[in-house]
Structures are given as structure tokens and as C-alpha cells.
Amino acid sequence: TNRTFTMIKPDGVENGHIGGILNMITEGGFRIVAMKLTQLTVADAKAFYAVHAERPFYGELVEFMTRGPIVAAILEKENAVEDFRTLIGATNPANAAEGTIRKKYATSMGENAVHGSDSDENAAIESAFHFAGREMF
Ligand code: ATP
């Protein structure tokens, strides 16, 4: 529907791209509903990426996602989930379209700067995990 959840991943924060990424998000027509600097625990990251538990890169992914702070945010726009997936671009930056966040800021398949929810259902689950109702505007 009209909301999605995003994280600026540890690489995006480490590399000084919080401002640049937020600028692309707002220029892309998304309104920031909630936002915070936080850090995933190992348990959080394992649960968040449980769908990939059997994949060879799972351990590396959990280590990466927990190694430093992230920016968690809820974004609002018509058709938010799909339009935000378009704005971030392909998982592998080599395949990311010109003008996408990953084209500009991702460094590899693993360290790809941003997350965007893949469904309305997951957007709601991920948003509720990070934010209380009174933190959403
Ligand atoms: P995200 O869920 O983080 O928004 P995505 O939906 O584009 O990313 P998924 O296929 O759900 O991609 O993979 C989740 C994350 O796992 C990727 O963003 C990436 O960081 C990591 N990942 C996926 N495939 C690989 C791989 N082959 N090697 C290393 N890391 C990978």
C-alpha cells in the first residue's frame, strides 16, 4: 500500500552516505514517517534474514548487518513497496540501473547500502519491530 520500511546498512553509514541516501529518498517522493540510528543484534539479523538461513552467505550477511549502526526508517508514498524497490535498484550493484541508490552507493552484492521491504506484509512486520506507534509521524 503506501508505506515501506528501509535500513541504511552498516556500509552506508560507515562510508558517510546517510545524507546522500536520505536525499535520494526524499527527492524520490518519499515522506519520512519514522527514523532512528540503531544497531541490529545477532538475533535480530538472524531473524530478519531467516529466509536465507540455508544459503552459503548467511553467516557473512549476519556479521555484516550487525557490525555497526544502521538507520531504520519508515517511508510513505503511493505504491511505496514497489516504487522503493525500483529506487534502490538490483541486489547486485553491477546490475543496478542508473539513478538508483545501489548504483551510486553499493560496493558489492553483500554490502549494498540499503534494504527495502519486499511486500506490504513484511513492511508492516519490519516497521513494528523497530518503532512504537508514538514514533511514527
Ligand atoms: P534486502 O532484503 O537487503 O533489501 P534484496 O531483497 O535485494 O535485499 P535478498 O535476495 O533478499 O536481496 O538478499 C538479502 C541480502 O543478502 C542482500 O541485500 C545482500 O546483502 C545479501 N546477499 C544476497 N545474495 C547474496 C550473495 N550471493 N552473496 C552475498 N550476499 C548476498
CATH number at residue 130: 3.30.70.141
**Ligand 1 pocket, residue 130 CB under 6 Å:** no
Domain that holds residue 8: 3-135
Provide the ipTM: 0.93
Q: For residue 83, with 0-12 CB atoms within 10 Å meaning exposed, 13-18 middle and 19 or more buried, which class applies?
A: middle
Q: 45 and 130 in contact (C-beta within 8 Å)?
A: no
Angle 29-45-76 from CA coordinates, rounded to 5° = 15
Tens of pLDDT, residue by residue over 46-75, are 999 999 999 999 999 999 999 999 999 999
Q: Does residue 117 have its Cβ closer than 6 Å to ligand 1?
A: no
Ligand 1 in reach of 90 Cβ (< 6 A): no
DSSP helix, strand, coil percent of the chain (3-state; round to 5): 45, 20, 35
| Closest-lying ligand 1 atom to the alpha carbon of residue 115 | 4
- Which residue minimizes the CA distance to atom 12 of ligand 1? 91
The residue whose CA is least distant from atom 21 of ligand 1 is 110
Check if the beta carbon of residue 8 is closer than 8 Å to that of residue 18.
yes
Report which secondary-structure segment, H or E, holds 42. Answer: helix 42-48
Q: Is 93 in the pocket of ligand 1 (CB under 6 A)?
A: no
pLDDT confidence of residue 10 = 98
Cα(101)–Cα(81) distance, integer angstroms: 15
Strands (E) across 9-128 are located at 31-38, 70-76, 114-116
Please indicate whether residue 130 is annotated as part of the active site: no
Question: What residue's CA is closest to ligand 1, atom 18?
Answer: 91
The pLDDT value recorded for residue 17 is 98
What is the rounded distance in angstroms from the CA atom of residue 135 to the CA atom of residue 57? Answer: 33
The number of domains in the chain is 1
Please answer whether residues 93 and 99 qualify as being in contact, where contact means their C-beta atoms are separated by less than 8 angstroms.
Answer: no
Predicted pLDDT of residue 132: 98
| Positions in the chain whose pLDDT score sits under 70 | 1
Residue 122 Cβ < 6 Å to ligand 1: no
Nearest to residue 30, comparing CAs of 12, 3, 57, 51? Answer: 3
- Total-model pTM: 0.97
